[in-house]
């Protein structure tokens, strides 16, 4: 059964650790993340961007696949299926399709419009028992073609959105999606501290988890970050392992072309990356 992310994030905030959101792209991705979470007895959030949802043949297909997999693999740790950076319409579709959590990313709207739309979706999610993430201030880098500039959120705006009753709040603190540039200035801990002071017990979300140094991750958790999103890093490790398999000519040996063999090193690489992150975030054994 899929669960709302509320309980796992409330516990994480109180226990000073973070739950990882790992984005999924296909069956192998989902299987690797779920098996690793179960092995480590960690709660987990599966993230699905609108682009990835479209790629996987729609949100209904994703919800059916994930629910069935949780059941068939006997996954007993808490699993939330979460829309990542959703539009207003996308969020509604995911709620219909059986997701247990959605993000409404209204950060590109003027704040009043972001508040209006977030408020409407909070009411729907509350009624259905789903968790909802909102965002203030755009986060840098590229996600499905949307480019931001590593912006930094206004703590007062964060408070206004937090007060709408969202479950968790994403706020730009100089973080960027994808690989970080050489000259990246690092996370803005002054802003994070100010946001946490204004929003209190609200679990804060750190997007762009790929490539943030371990000491910065730990400091962010100590300042109230309870959910960390990782996407690119699994893609990079999957691609590197698949490349190594093919470059070693293994697809040409015996039945090495069988997708169950060809995709196995990449799937294992995702397991390894997820394990490393769960250990760093402190969610191991917290299911």
Using CB under 6 A, list all residues that contact ligand 13P: 23, 47, 84-85, 177-178, 207-210, 229-233
Q: Which is nearer to ligand 13P, 33 or 230 (CB)?
A: 230
Strand, coil or helix: what is 255?
A: coil
Query: Angle 218-184-198 (CA atoms, 0-180°, nearest 5)?
Result: 50
Residue 250 C-beta: closest distance to ligand 13P, Å: 28
Residue 212 C-beta: closest distance to ligand 13P, Å: 8
What's the CA gap between 176 and 142, in Å, rounded? Answer: 8
Q: Where are the alpha helices (DSSP H) in the chain?
A: 6-15, 27-40, 50-55, 59-72, 88-97, 111-128, 155-162, 189-199, 214-222, 232-247, 259-262, 264-281
Q: Which is nearer to ligand 13P, 20 or 245 (CB)?
A: 20
Catalytic residue among 84, 156, 251, 272: 84
Q: Are 136 and 171 in contact (CB under 8 A)?
A: yes
Residue 163 C-beta: closest distance to ligand 13P, Å: 23
Q: Which is nearer to ligand 13P, 84 or 151 (CB)?
A: 84
Active site annotation includes 84: yes
Residue 25 C-beta: closest distance to ligand 13P, Å: 12
Q: Is 49 buried (19+), middle (13-18) or exposed (0-12) by CB count in 10 A?
A: buried
Q: Which residues are known to be catalytic?
A: 84
């Amino acid at each position: 059964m899929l669960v709302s992310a509320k309980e796992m994030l409330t516990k994480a905030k109180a226990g000073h650790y973070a739950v990882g959101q790992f984005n999924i792209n296909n069956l192998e991705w989902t299987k690797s993340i779920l098996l690793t979470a179960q092995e480590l007895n960690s709660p987990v959030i599966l993230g699905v961007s609108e682009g990835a949802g479209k790629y996987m043949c729609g949100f209904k297909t994703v919800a059916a696949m994930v629910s069935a997999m949780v059941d068939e693999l006997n996954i007993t740790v808490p699993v939330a299926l979460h829309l990542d950076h959703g539009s207003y319409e996308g969020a509604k579709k995911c709620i219909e399709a059986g997701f247990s959590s959605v993000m409404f990313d209204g950060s590109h709207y003027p704040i009043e419009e972001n508040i209006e739309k977030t408020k409407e979706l909070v009411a729907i999610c509350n009624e259905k028992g789903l968790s909802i993430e909102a965002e203030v201030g755009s986060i840098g880098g590229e996600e499905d073609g949307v480019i931001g500039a590593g912006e930094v959120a206004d703590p007062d705006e964060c408070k206004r959105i937090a007060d709408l009753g969202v479950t968790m709040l994403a706020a730009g603190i100089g973080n960027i999606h994808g690989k970080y540039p050489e000259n990246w200035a690092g996370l803005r801990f002054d802003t994070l501290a100010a946001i946490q002071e204004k929003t209190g017990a609200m679990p804060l979300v750190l997007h762009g988890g790929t490539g943030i140094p371990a000491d910065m991750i730990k400091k962010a958790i100590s300042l109230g970050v309870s959910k960390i999103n990782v996407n690119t890093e699994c893609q990079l490790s999957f691609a590197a392992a698949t490349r190594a398999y093919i470059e070693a000519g293994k697809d040409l040996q015996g039945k090495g072309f069988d997708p169950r063999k060809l995709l196995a090193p990449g799937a294992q690489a995702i397991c390894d990356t997820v394990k490393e992150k769960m250990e760093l975030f402190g969610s191991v054994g917290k299911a």
